[in-house]
Structure 1
Amino acid sequence: MLVEFRPHARLRGKQPADLGASVLPVVAAVSASDTDLGKVRVVCDWVQYRNNFRDVVQLRPILNGDLEIAVDVRRAADAPVGELTSALLRQSPDRVYLEDWRPGRDSCVWRFNALYWSALDLWEKATGRGYEQALPGGESDARNRAAAAELIGELFAVWDRLAASAALPDELYVIELGVGNGGQAKVFLDEFRDLDRHRGTAYYSRLRYLMCDYSAHVLDLARETVAEHTERVSSFVLDATRPRTSLGFLRYKAFLVYISNVYDNLPTDEVAQLGGRTYCVHNRACLPGEEAAELAESVSATVDELPALVHKLLRLGPVLLAEACPDHFADTDAAVRFWQDTWAALRLAERYVPLAGLDTYPLTDTLTGEALRPLLESGADVRMHVSNGAVASFVDTLGLLHPFGKLVCHDIFVDDIQGYRTTFRGPGKYDGSVVNWVNGPLLAHVGRKRGFDVDYAPFRHRAGGHVVTMTAQVRD
């Protein structure tokens, strides 16, 4: 039996984690069962997201005959983890499954994520708060005025040099992916206009600021926020994983691509290197039996009817769901409650499926899993996010940059592969969306292969927090 306690830093301090409460009852339960102890891994994480997809104790089959038992240390002290482990080893948990096994990026949780952004106005109406209030601190770091002023100063320095050699284009393109409510765009445009007036450089009249987002509702809010800069702003609804589909006309023209809190919200698989073998983590979305029964009763349905209703919700959205199923939903508000209650109860079963070879694994449409090899083979066993959506977006975005352009991204990055060996990195739930930390070493490796320098630094303009600033620009 292998026992791995990942949050080892929490064993010290004023309120140390109780190793005995989280591990010993599990080990005792496994020892008392008829499970082959030589095939068991007990893995302990501190799941910092209070809203997440995990139970306190979870069994994960490894499809080579082994078994992983996962324990959430944060909740273990208040739960009968020994009894839970014994029950799971005796019989399968009571679950209502919403899908078959599949890689993480193909799970229906990402359809829930897409629904959240497409019907955000209904979710916000039901909760009585905007989505930005779900972020740590209640707002995005993208709205920091000092950070915007610094970035604009760097842009002006580049443009001054190009203007001096008569090489500055007539139109100066800046792209923002994931605009939120437009707060960042307004801060940037206000600072830009003021600095340009002070310097007398007339760059503002040549500026073309492109606001891009998956959600039409979000873009509507953003346009209202930047109304005084309308002549300088255009907006695009697009898929963040394929920005060039909509913005291909800007190839090699963008001097700045600005991204904040987007990559952590894009679909991702997880892979693992265990005992010298590589696995892909497959997921299966499900609802705990008791909660599923309550949910079904709340909409006058049977438990057997529940999966079909959930998939109809994901296909139609709450407005059309209420129209299509009046026997279950009196109105749109009732359909929204069903959506929110389903999301709150949603769990992910997990298992490890061997990969035949990294070269056969499609990381993105243009990259294979070979890009993962230096990370997976960097030392001890590791489980990490592939950040498929973020990698696809990153690679596609690099092709939009002017030779003197730069990509700047604020997000929650793992900037060292060791970070995956010590800390839980998602998935978690932020309101109705999914959040995962982003695999920084992978993006840096992919960027370097394409001739870009990729650097990570703590966000300098706010103390504390986990936000990291990534920059990518053509290598000198």
Structure 2
Amino acid sequence: MLVDFRPHGRLRSARTPVTAGDSIAPVVDALSGSTTDLSRVRVVCDWVQYRQNFREVVEVRPIVAPGDPRGGPVPEGVRDDDLEIAVDVRRGTETALGDATRDALNAHAEGTADAGRVLLEDWGPGRQSCIWDFNALYWSALELWEKATGRAYEQALPGGESDARNRDAAREILTELFAVWDGLADRRALPPELYVVELGVGNGNQARVFLDEFRALDARHGRGYYRRLQYLMCDYSQHVLDLARETVAEHSEHVSAFVLDATRPRSALGFLQFRVFLIYISNVYDNLPTDEVAQLGGRTYLVESRAYIPATEAAELAASVNARPDELAGLVRKLLRLGPRLLAEAAPAHVSSPEDAVDFWRRTWSAVRLAERYVGLAGLDLYALSPSVTGEALRPLLESGADLRMHVSNGAVASFTETLPLLHPFGRLICHDLFADDVGAYRSGFRGPGKYDGSVVNWVNGPLLAHIGRRRGFDVTYTPFAHRPGTNVVTMTAQVRD
């Protein structure tokens, strides 16, 4: 048996202390009383910091090697495990961990783990899960969600606002940007139009801060850069862009808006290749689809997931919309395909108004869980990380030491690789987000997925983006966000290597 206790910092925490014995001993006792082959079991303890998440307190995750060669020879240096028992230490203090472990093991052994559950999809890679359809629905129908909750989405962020709105941070960026433009202007190399792109504009508050500070600094600087500025606001949600347009109305002569998929920015911005001096991104990458991969005992695995609604929640949810539990999956699919407004027209026997449909949507999202399993990868070169990157980019990270499970950040990689070619040779990409800036971060703590209001959040694989950027001739650096102490947000900067 292998035990991996990741939240080791909590063992000495004055505010939220835990003990390894209380977290591990009940689980080991339950395993000892089962028929499970203890030599082929992993126990992994995490502190799941997101109170809204997709996890049960105790989960059993099957481990399936490529071709499932059980009983065959095991390659030298490979640990061939059958199961992973995953424990949420944060909620473990509120749960009888031994009983929960026994129940999960018995259900797995008897093949009844799905009894009573409403399955929303088949097994598949994380980026293909319907949780991303829920995520897309949140942004496309954000107005209805905000009306139902009575608060703007930004209030769901830690601290109640985005770090992108920090004026000191905007001034710092602008001071550096103006210095670059001054040097080019002195050499008569500055183009007549000065392009700045923001991906994930949100409600426009960041854009307003940037534009207000830009105009003020330019007035003092005296070079007329504001007159030449072209600020492009880009977002997935038309509703969000409409709000942003109102927010920056006084700068409208310098602002354009584009609805685009953040994973394919060149589909709308390809005409700007090599012309953009600043690409600004905040809290976008952590909200893009991602797979997870793992290196366990010398083998490489893809983490497959399957979304479901637990039996108790399914019964309550079905009763609330005059449906049977076996009708829920179809109703959820209609919701994700049509949205809450049209769902009220398509299924009036279950939801009589858009408001009822939004209530159904919110309650469903709260109840959704993810079952997981590990499926062996035949070869990293056969795994498509993004349209332009193969899984070989993962090798130096996966083979960096001890066992590791990490996000692939497929959506962020796709966005990043399509965005870099837009940069002017003197341009920069600046991104504020939740980055794991070291591979070791994945060995020491839980990095998602969690739920932010109605959307999905995952930490972004910073070392992977840095590795991909270097292979394309860019320096990629990570620094703590300098203007709000204690935040988890990290600033990534990418620019052409000198």
TM-score (structure 1 length as normaliser): 0.99
Shift of 1:78: 1.1
Q: Distance in 1 between matches of 2:262 and 2:248?
A: 21
1:235 alignment partner in structure 2: 257
1:90 alignment partner in structure 2: 106
Shift of 1:280: 0.3
1:253 is matched by which residue type in structure 2?
R
* Structure 1 residue 433 corresponds to structure 2 residue 434: no
Q: Distance in 1 between matches of 2:322 and 2:264?
A: 41
Q: Distance in 1 between matches of 2:354 and 2:64?
A: 43
* Structure 1 residue 261 corresponds to structure 2 residue 283: yes
Q: Summarize deviations over 1:97-119 as a string: whole Å, max 9, x none.
A: 10000000000000000000000
Q: Summarize deviations over 1:393-444 as a string: whole Å, max 9, x none.
A: 0000001000000000000100000000000000000000000000000000
Q: Distance in 2 between matches of 1:366 and 1:204?
A: 36
- The gaps in structure 1 that reach 5 residues or longer are none
2:486 alignment partner in structure 1: 464
Q: Summarize deviations over 1:49-91 as a string: whole Å, max 9, x none.
A: 0000000001100014610000000010110111011111112
1:8 alignment partner in structure 2: 8
* Structure 1 residue 40 corresponds to structure 2 residue 41: yes
Q: Secondary structure at the match of 1:239?
A: coil
1:250 alignment partner in structure 2: 272
Shift of 1:155: 0.8
Q: What does 1:207-222 correspond to in 2, within 5 Å? A: 207-222=229-244
Per mean C-alpha deviation after superposition, the further-off stretch among 125-134 and 191-200 is 191-200
Which residue among 186, 191, 194 is the counterpart of 1:169? 191
- Note if contact 1:318-1:335 (Cα within 8 Å) is conserved in structure 2: yes
- Note if contact 1:25-1:82 (Cα within 8 Å) is conserved in structure 2: yes
Q: What does 1:195-214 correspond to in 2, within 5 Å? A: 195-214=217-236
Q: What does 1:261-280 correspond to in 2, within 5 Å? A: 261-280=283-302
1:23 alignment partner in structure 2: 24
* Structure 1 residue 62 corresponds to structure 2 residue 84: no
2:25 is matched by which residue type in structure 1?
L
* Structure 1 residue 306 corresponds to structure 2 residue 328: yes
Q: Distance in 2 between matches of 1:39 and 1:297?
A: 42
1:134 alignment partner in structure 2: 156
1:3 is matched by which residue type in structure 2?
V
Q: Secondary structure at the match of 1:61?
A: strand
- Note if contact 1:102-1:284 (Cα within 8 Å) is conserved in structure 2: yes
Q: Distance in 1 between matches of 2:21 and 2:359?
A: 40
Shift of 1:268: 0.1
Which residue among 338, 352, 367 is the counterpart of 2:360? 338
- The gaps in structure 2 that reach 5 residues or longer are 66-80
1:372 is matched by which residue type in structure 2?
L
2:421 alignment partner in structure 1: 399
Q: Distance in 1 between matches of 2:335 and 2:103?
A: 33
1:450 is matched by which residue type in structure 2?
R
1:41 is matched by which residue type in structure 2?
R
1:359 alignment partner in structure 2: 381
Q: Summarize deviations over 1:125-177 as a string: whole Å, max 9, x none.
A: 00000000000000000000010011011111011111111110000000000
1:10 is matched by which residue type in structure 2?
R
- Note if contact 1:459-1:468 (Cα within 8 Å) is conserved in structure 2: yes
Q: Distance in 1 between matches of 2:331 and 2:118?
A: 13
Shift of 1:200: 1.2
Q: Secondary structure at the match of 1:399?
A: helix
Q: Which runs of 4+ in 1 moved over 2 A?
A: none
Q: Distance in 1 between matches of 2:106 and 2:440?
A: 35
1:224 alignment partner in structure 2: 246
Shift of 1:9: 1.3
Q: Distance in 1 between matches of 2:104 and 2:247?
A: 52
- Note if contact 1:18-1:77 (Cα within 8 Å) is conserved in structure 2: no
Shift of 1:232: 0.3
C-alpha RMSD of the superposition: 0.7
Total equivalences in the alignment: 476
Q: What does 1:353-392 correspond to in 2, within 5 Å? A: 353-392=375-414
* Structure 1 residue 122 corresponds to structure 2 residue 144: yes
2:54 is matched by which residue type in structure 1?
F
Shift of 1:13: 2.9
Q: Secondary structure at the match of 1:460?
A: coil
Q: Distance in 2 between matches of 1:182 and 1:45?
A: 36
Q: Distance in 1 between matches of 2:63 and 2:221?
A: 63
2:395 is matched by which residue type in structure 1?
R
2:77 alignment partner in structure 1: none
Q: Distance in 1 between matches of 2:3 and 2:167?
A: 47
Q: Distance in 2 between matches of 1:162 and 1:117?
A: 39
Q: Distance in 2 between matches of 1:404 and 1:88?
A: 56
Which residue among 89, 108, 116 is the counterpart of 1:73? 89
1:112 alignment partner in structure 2: 134
2:85 is matched by which residue type in structure 1?
I
Q: Distance in 2 between matches of 1:388 and 1:403?
A: 26
Q: Distance in 2 between matches of 1:13 and 1:317?
A: 44
Q: Secondary structure at the match of 2:94?
A: coil
Q: Secondary structure at the match of 1:44?
A: strand
1:228 is matched by which residue type in structure 2?
E
Identity %: 72
Q: Distance in 1 between matches of 2:99 and 2:37?
A: 19
Q: Secondary structure at the match of 2:386?
A: coil
Shift of 1:21: 1.8
Shift of 1:275: 0.4
Q: Distance in 1 between matches of 2:23 and 2:482?
A: 37
Q: Summarize deviations over 1:214-266 as a string: whole Å, max 9, x none.
A: 00010001000000000000000000001000000000000000000000000
2:142 is matched by which residue type in structure 1?
L
Shift of 1:12: 1.1
TM-score (structure 2 length as normaliser): 0.95
